[in-house]
Amino acid sequence: MAEAGDREAVDRFAFDVRWKYAAGGLDFDHPGFVHTVLVDMRARPAASDRPDRIFEPTVEVAAQAGLVGRRRVLDSAPIYDAVATQDTITLIRSAIRGLLRAADHVLRAQLRAVISSGDAYTDMGKPVIDWTDAAEREALVDSRAKDGHALLAVLDGRKLSGEVDQAARLLATVLGQDLDQGEDGVFRIARKVARDRIISTVDPQARHGRKTAARSFDGYKGHIAEVPGREIITAAKVTAGNVGDAEPAADLLADILAPEQAEVYGDAAYGTGPMPARLEQAGVEAMVKTQPAGASGGRFSKDVFTIDLEAGQVSCPNQVTTEIRRHGDGGGVAAFGAACASCPLREQCTTARNGREIKIGPHEEHLARGRANSTDPGWPARYRATRPKVERKISHLMRRRHGGRRARVRGVTKIDAGFSLLAAAVNLARLAVLGIVSTPSGAWATAAP
């Protein structure tokens, strides 16, 4: 896919005089270049000490022109991976094939000697079995899993080269994430999904992610921080698809996490965990939605309980008070236990046999303050006037002609460098719209109001 896009760019350069003009006013009959030049151009920043060196000057120019204040809006979007998601059998066979390929001819012979399934592991297709037969499927999984464990046993205790060690680790991870071994010694697919499950041996850093409860994807996430109103991207970062939106927020906001007046806007994905606490400690006003407390079946939510963190107590709607049992991480739990048995409000509160429990998070104080702040009458208007603008910027990055929606390469490092380059291009287009000009002193200014 990346190669197709590069070839198209070379064709346009060869036959469209506007591309030659943009490249420095080259002659119309300039011979052009081969498409692999573009591959090398993308690879060089990704492998350098400054992969953002093209993006950073666009932010610096915008700052000189007075377009970068201390307000930021955060958002993310899926970046679909450039490979196919693999099922368990394909993952195991691919990982074994990768290990055999990485080994030298001596080690490869030793590894092949312990393969008992009869599989040559030379092709990418699935073995031919009756896939409707559960016994055949189970035997296939078990035999390939035992091949994998036998290979790892050969390598156990050996000093391995970097490539072989990496391939062995990948095989061990694939075997461990999807399989359980029963008491009968048979390996079967586990009835669970590993938290950080590898979905492809071709791109081991890609992950299964969710943008919403109903919308899933495979690949990565592109995160940005934007100056609202001016629509300048100040930071861009790529993570695996299963990384929460709030995790890279500190990196995106590094330029404003200082004891000066600043504002940060974000949806509910940024209103959980340590982010509100981090913003408050940095003196930044957090215009971030905090997820409301919920309860199944329409019963009492956590919000109707009075939580006194200073006293270490929680009071329920029936005016029963209990102590908070603290955990090592600063959180805890308040259990009402026997008091619920005779409570007249029990049906409205809990169906748990041991009574209602209220969990206290390590950042409960900041989350409670965020919920309280969002009830201010002016808060929704400020949020709606600022936060939705970042979605337009995300759409600029991800629209089809930019190709941002699908990764062109593999791995976080390369995709992150490409995303930074894309953000630089979008910033340059925005600076042009704002009428950026060079002043006589060599600085930058904007002609736009």
pLDDT band at 98 (very low <50, low <70, confident <90, very high): very high
**Which secondary-structure segment (H or E) carries 315?**
strand 313-315
Residues with Cβ within 8 Å of residue 284, at least 6 apart in sequence: 253, 256, 257, 262, 263, 264
Beta bridge partners of 235: 225
* Average pLDDT of span 212-237: 91
CA gap 66, 193 in Å, rounded: 49
Phi-psi map region of 216: left, alpha, beta (phi>0 left; psi -120 to 50 alpha):
beta
**Which secondary-structure segment (H or E) carries 323?**
strand 321-323
* Average pLDDT of span 50-78: 92
Helices and strands in the chain: count of H runs, count of E runs? 15, 16
* pLDDT confidence of residue 443: 84
Concatenate the DSSP letters of all residues of 278-300 into one string: HHHHTTEEEEE--PPP--GGG--
Pairing of strands 262-266, 284-288: parallel
CB-CB neighbours of 315 under 10 Å: 17
Dihedrals phi, psi of 82, to nearest 5 degrees: -95, 15
CB of 247 closer than 8 Å to CB of 269: no
Residue listed under structure tokens 């969990």: 359
* pLDDT confidence of residue 324: 92
pLDDT, tens digit, 9 for 90 and up, residues 101-121: 999 999 999 999 999 999 999
* pLDDT confidence of residue 448: 55
Tell me how many degrees the CA angle 172-177-182 measures, rounded to the nearest 5.
Answer: 95
* Average pLDDT of span 232-252: 93
**Which secondary-structure segment (H or E) carries 78?**
strand 71-80
pTM of the model: 0.82
pLDDT, tens digit, 9 for 90 and up, residues 133-150: 999 999 999 999 999 999
User: Where exactly are the structural domains of the chain?
Assistant: 1-34, 48-85+207-267+387-449, 88-189, 296-366
pLDDT band at 449 (very low <50, low <70, confident <90, very high): low
Task: Please determine, for residue 300, whether its predicted confidence score (pLDDT) is greater than 80.
Answer: yes
Pairing of strands 215-227, 357-360: unpaired
Percent of the chain with pLDDT over 90: 45
Task: Please determine, for residue 89, whether its predicted confidence score (pLDDT) is greater than 60.
Answer: yes
pLDDT band at 400 (very low <50, low <70, confident <90, very high): low
Based on the number of CB atoms within 10 Å of its own CB, is 280 exposed (0-12), middle (13-18) or buried (19 or more)?
middle
Q: What is the dihedral of CA 314, 320, 325, 331, to 10 degrees?
A: -20
CA gap 299, 296 in Å, rounded: 6
pLDDT, tens digit, 9 for 90 and up, residues 157-201: 999 988 999 999 999 999 999 899 999 999 999 888 788 899 999
Task: Please determine, for residue 403, whether its predicted confidence score (pLDDT) is greater than 70.
Answer: no
* pLDDT confidence of residue 1: 39
pLDDT, tens digit, 9 for 90 and up, residues 5-21: 778 888 888 888 888 88
* pLDDT confidence of residue 215: 83
Task: Please determine, for residue 280, whether its predicted confidence score (pLDDT) is greater than 90.
Answer: no
Task: Please determine, for residue 402, whether its predicted confidence score (pLDDT) is greater than 80.
Answer: no
Task: Please determine, for residue 227, whether its predicted confidence score (pLDDT) is greater than 90.
Answer: yes
pLDDT, tens digit, 9 for 90 and up, residues 362-393: 888 888 888 888 888 888 899 888 888 788 88
pLDDT, tens digit, 9 for 90 and up, residues 307-324: 988 899 999 999 999 999
* pLDDT confidence of residue 377: 86
Residues with Cβ within 8 Å of residue 186, at least 6 apart in sequence: 138, 142
Task: Please determine, for residue 259, whether its predicted confidence score (pLDDT) is greater than 50.
Answer: yes
* pLDDT confidence of residue 428: 92
CA gap 41, 82 in Å, rounded: 19
* pLDDT confidence of residue 320: 93
* pLDDT confidence of residue 231: 92
List b or e across 399-435, with b for residues whose CB sees 16 or more CB atoms inside 10 angstroms.
eeeebbbebbbbbbebbbbbbbbbbbbbbbebbeebe
pLDDT band at 206 (very low <50, low <70, confident <90, very high): very high
Task: Please determine, for residue 39, whether its predicted confidence score (pLDDT) is greater than 90.
Answer: no
CB of 140 closer than 8 Å to CB of 129: yes
Task: Please determine, for residue 273, whether its predicted confidence score (pLDDT) is greater than 80.
Answer: no
Q: Which of 127-131, 253-257, 270-274 has the lowest mean pLDDT?
A: 270-274
Question: Is the pLDDT higher at 31 or at 343?
Answer: 343
